A = this chain, B = another copy of it.
Amino acid sequence: VGMSSCPDKPETALRSDALRNRRALLRAARELFAGNIDVPMYEIARLAGVGQATLYRHFPDRSALAGAIAEEILDELEVFAADHPEGADLFFPLLQCFIRLASQSGGLIAAVREGSGAESELKYLNDRLFALFACPLREAKASGVVRPDLELEDVLRTVNMVHGALDAVEVDLERRRADVSRALDLIINGIAG
């Protein structure tokens, strides 16, 4: 309450400015990474409308940026899960949501892996993902909507498989989306008739 009565307090203004920059950087990075994870850092700063110094203050390297995007994707997945009724019906929509979000930034995990603190960051991301899917997967198995031997590792595998189906040189986002849909459909429904 005290904060909101004093919106122009310098410290608060600085913090909200930093948050705004951070959000703009992440949005720009996600947009550019969708086409190519190797896009230069200065292009991300330019699209975000901030200086390179600001970019590097928030994200010292590409690995830090990739990790932040991965965490943001998990945030969005958690919101998605919270917005949907629990039970056996959650697994497939949650998996589809995960794959669509993840496939917009192919190579994200490879970029995280190049960082100095990669091991603990990857473990953190993995733990959060598995925690998110554990209950929906258990309930989907219990009610028979997924094969009984499906494991949490398969959730990750599915994302990697869809990513593998994307042509590395294809930049047309519409065609990439079509490729994601087809690969997802093949995995979910299988090839057998």
Contacts and interface: CB of A to CB of B under 8 A. Distances in A.
Interface of A: 110, 113, 140-141, 144-148, 150, 154, 157-158, 160-165, 168-169, 179, 182-183, 186-193
Chain A at the B interface: SS class: helix
Contacts of A179: 157
Contact of A148 (B146, B150, B168, B193): B193
State the oligomeric state as a number of copies: 2
A186 B154 contact: yes
Shortest beta-carbon contacts, A-B, top 7: A164-B164, A190-B190, A161-B161, A144-B193, A160-B164, A189-B190, A161-B165
A157 B186 CA distance: 9
Contacts of A146: 191-193
Contacts of A183: 157, 161
A148 B192 CA distance: 9
